[in-house]
Amino acid sequence: MRIVYLAVKYITVIGTFLQAFFEHLTCRVYEILIEDGRYLRQNEMCGHIEHEIIRKRATAFGMCFFPFLFNLLVGLVTVSAGAVNVYYLGEFFTAKGFPHFLNFLLLWVGISALTNLFPQWEDALTLKEQIYGKGKSNLFIKIIAAPIFGILYGGAYLQRYGLTLITSVAFSFAVPYILSTFVPTLYGWIK
């Protein structure tokens, strides 16, 4: 499965760099010691920053959540622009007959960012230990953190096996329909 993981990371290299960059920034903000700052490596740390063990609950949450949030925002904006133009408006070519590379580039960058949303597996396990470990949190924090933790933990598990590429492509097909719920004018274009 390591081959599949690395192949997905290199196919979605823009999202891989964005994820590692946002993790790097988060480490700097939380003053977490970085052990290895290379973004592209040929192991399970590809697209992640190797850092010291996190001992505080808030820091573990921030290390998992903020890179996820930033990549999610970049991914949603770019995949929306690309998916509407390519899949549903059919803008494959420009007015002069050349391929419309900008639409395909936006779609690829969006899928890349959405593929590389989730934290590394070790960070997800650290967050699980910090929130749900014996005597670590009260019941209120466990209940409030459950939806976000479930998304981060499940996504980290899927990302370990390269399955987030499939979910990102599927999501990109659904984006215009999701947007038509909020922007009624787009619904007229899709019909």
- DSSP of 106-173: HHHHHHHHHHT-SPPHHHHHHHHHHHHSTTTS-HHHHHHHHHHHHHHHHHHHHHHTTTHHHHHHHHHH
Q: What is the pLDDT of residue 69?
A: 96
Q: Based on the structure, what is the number of domains in the chain?
A: 1
Give the Cα separation of 42 and 128 in Å (integer).
Answer: 26
Q: State how far the Cα of 142 lies from the Cα of 149, in Å rounded to an integer.
A: 9
For residue 152, the model assigns a pLDDT of 95
Q: What is the pLDDT of residue 185?
A: 67
pLDDT in single tens digits along all 191 residues of the chain: 688 989 999 999 999 999 999 999 999 999 999 988 888 888 888 888 899 988 888 899 999 999 999 999 999 999 999 998 888 777 777 777 777 888 899 999 999 999 999 999 999 999 999 888 877 778 888 899 899 999 999 999 999 998 999 999 999 999 988 887 877 765 555 55
- For residue 188, the model assigns a pLDDT of 58
Structure tokens at 95: 């007015």
For the chain, the straight-line distance linking the first and the last C-alpha, in angstroms and rounded, comes to: 41
How many helices (H) and strands (E) in the chain? 8, 2
Cβ–Cβ under 8 Å, residues 164 and 118 = yes
Rounded to whole angstroms, the Cα distance separating 54 from 83 reads: 38
Residue indicated by tokens 């190797």: 50
Q: Give residue 47's pLDDT.
A: 84
Give the pLDDT score at 191.
53
* Token pair 């598990």 in the structure block, residue: 157
Cβ proximity of 113 and 71 under 8 Å: yes
- Beta-carbon neighbour count of residue 139 at 10 Å? 7
CA 121 – CA 125 distance, rounded (Å): 6
What is residue 39's predicted lDDT score, i.e. its pLDDT? Answer: 85
| Predicted local distance difference test score (pLDDT) of residue 74 | 96
Structural domain of residue 36, as residue ranges?
2-190
> pTM of the prediction?
0.87
98 secondary structure, DSSP code: -
